[in-house]
Amino acid sequence: MNILQNYILKEIIVGFLLAILLFTFVLLVGNLVKLVELVMTKGVNFFSVLKLFGYLMPSLLNFTIPMSLLTSTVLVFGRLSADREITAMRASGIRLFKLSFPVIVFGLLLSLGSLALSDRLLPKTHFAYRKLLKEIGVKNPTSILEAGTFIEGFGNYILFIYEIDDGLLKNIRIYQPQENRPPRTIIARSGRILTAPGSDVITIKLTDGTSDEPNPQRPETFYKLNFRTYLINLKLSSAFKEKTFSKKPKDMTIGELRRQIKKYRKERIDTAPLRTEIHKKLSMAFSSLVFVLIGLPLSIRTGRKELSINFAISMGVAFIYWIFLALGEALSLRGLLTPFFNMWLPNILLATVGILLMGHALEGRS
């Protein structure tokens, strides 16, 4: 039994290492186009490009580690099943669970390693990557506003912009905390920056939204004002200098995210983006274990050893997972259901299907 377990685990590890080299290379090439364009248009030196590549690696590994383990698992067990080796092992009284147990443990260890990667190394390198891009990137009015992060430094205003597309700000939240009462909130479907470069005041033209305005009769309370267009002037401060470069949720560790949540809850500011990021880190970290649980019985059930077919199976499983994860993130950011449910749903679904398939495989069903 130990010989078979060691043999299968060795095959899984070799396949995993080859797959991680392949997937990481493919993703690097995809990002290389952006970096080359940056070099060609901005004259960035070679050392800065190497630093960008280094900062980019942990982010890529966060995706390629679970993908590589899934691909390796499907290829190895698919070949064993197609060659009737799984059937022969069963006939010899070898239980499939014992055979696959080291692979499941390997998936768990990779998940724990991925958790350390996403919670410790990835926030630091992603933050450093953004800072370096800000230093060498295109200078324009929108460069001081970044999507997906709470932006402080405009006096007592706090901004959150869900998306920036070619200068168009989409789904904007502007908070003005008030002492001992809910913050004044401005919500807009879209907006554009009107201020010319070099000005220390940024003017944003908001479109289609609502604004909390002080009640003339009772200044301590607000009333809702619907608007088609709304101009707001925000004075720039040192928050956009390098030393106070603000962090996105992705740039924070779980501990930092929890402290930020505690702070914003006191100011009654929506913390959904921060809570979503916490559960996204945890969920993605354990995707390696989930991919083993679904990939192992699925490959045995299909029983194909063709490289192209097994590769397509692993890509299909990963595609379903990432689609559900992206959908869950979008729902969380829009306040639909809870971040915990939305971000853990892909893991729960795939793990459940994998356990059910494993149960059928243990019973020898096809």
Burial of 41 (0-12, 13-18, 19+ CB in 10 A): exposed
pLDDT band at residue 342 under the 50/70/90 scheme: very high
d(Cα 120, Cα 144) in Å, to the nearest integer? Answer: 26
pLDDT at 359 over 80: no
d(Cα 78, Cα 309) in Å, to the nearest integer? Answer: 10
pLDDT at 282 over 90: yes
- Under 8 Å CB-to-CB from 334, ≥6 apart: which residues? none
Query: Per this entry, what is the length of the chain?
Result: 366
Spell 155-187 as b/e; 16+ CB within 10 A means b. Answer: eebbbbbeebeeeebebbbbbebeeeeebbbbb
Torsion of CA 32, 129, 291, 27, to 10 degrees: 0
Amino acid at 153: G
pLDDT at 16 over 80: yes
pLDDT at 257 over 70: yes
pLDDT at res. 144: 57
d(Cα 304, Cα 321) in Å, to the nearest integer? Answer: 22
Share of the chain above pLDDT 90, in %: 37
Q: Is 214 helix (H, G, I), strand (E, B) or coil?
A: strand
The predicted-structure confidence for 22-63, as pLDDT tens digits, reads as follows 998 888 887 777 666 656 644 566 677 778 888 888 989 999
The predicted-structure confidence for 283-335, as pLDDT tens digits, reads as follows 999 999 999 999 888 888 776 667 778 788 888 999 999 999 999 999 988 87
More reliable by pLDDT, 235 or 281:
281
Of the candidates 346, 351, 283, 314, the residue with the CA atom closest to the CA atom of residue 72: 314
The predicted-structure confidence for 199-254, as pLDDT tens digits, reads as follows 567 788 999 999 887 776 676 677 788 999 999 888 765 544 444 567 888 889 99
pLDDT at 365 over 50: no
pLDDT at res. 123: 92
Tell me what the pLDDT averaged over the chain comes to: 82
pLDDT at res. 281: 94
pLDDT at res. 40: 60
d(Cα 140, Cα 138) in Å, to the nearest integer? Answer: 6
pLDDT at 137 over 50: no
pLDDT at res. 165: 81
pLDDT at res. 136: 58
